Amino acid sequence: MSLSLYDITVPVFIRAFGNLTEILKKGEAYADEKGLAHKELLNARLIEDMYPLIAQIQRASDAAKFVPVRLGQVENVPMDDNEATFADLHARIERTVTFLKSVDPAVMADREEAEVVLKTRSGSTTFTGRNYVLGFAIPNFYFHVTTAYAILRHKGVPIGKMDYIGRSQ
């Protein structure tokens, strides 16, 4: 049995969001324990020209949901990028996971060679479904999840590799 594009994306994203949720909870608890304003963590960046923690979660959400949207031609669930609190971020993740769980694996079946056009401010790039998933979507998703983890770790939140990876399959 071979792995489908659905198998290597949607369930993997859902699992990563579960780990990210726990990491965010630890960040919030750390801020409370240390008497830090939540905004100090939520607006933290690794360096000035990178997005803050809030935007990292938003971009991870977008990266995950755009896979079935672009590849499976599922209708997008727009999200306003107006999150400002840990509760808002948890709700964003929950909405994203709910959307991902609603995706029928059949819509992504046999889409390895489908044309996927990614439009950005600087132009557009055309991929095959396989190349989009493996060369753009998955790396983009994990870039933002990893950066969110790194921001919290950099700010002193006591999280480690097993928090990022998760403890169960």
CA 25/CA 66 separation, integer angstroms = 25
| Assigned domain for 38 exists | yes
- Least confident among 58-62, 118-122, 137-141: 118-122
pLDDT by residue (tens digit) across 88-106? Answer: 999 999 999 999 999 999 9
Burial 80-119 (b: 16+ CB within 10 A, else e): eeebeebeebbebbeebbebbeebeeeebeebbebebeee
Tokens of 120: 């950005």
| Assigned domain for 2 exists | no
DSSP 127: E
Summary mean pLDDT of the chain: 96
| Assigned domain for 59 exists | yes
| Assigned domain for 1 exists | no
Would the pLDDT of 82 be above 80?
Answer: yes
Q: What is the model's pLDDT at position 26?
A: 98
Torsion over CA of 99, 76, 166 and 130, rounded to 10 degrees?
120
Domain tally, the chain: 1
Q: Which domain holds residue 95?
A: 10-165
CA 159/CA 142 separation, integer angstroms = 17
Tokens of 168: 């169960």
| Assigned domain for 146 exists | yes
| Assigned domain for 42 exists | yes
Q: What is the model's pLDDT at position 169?
A: 57
Q: What is the model's pLDDT at position 1?
A: 63
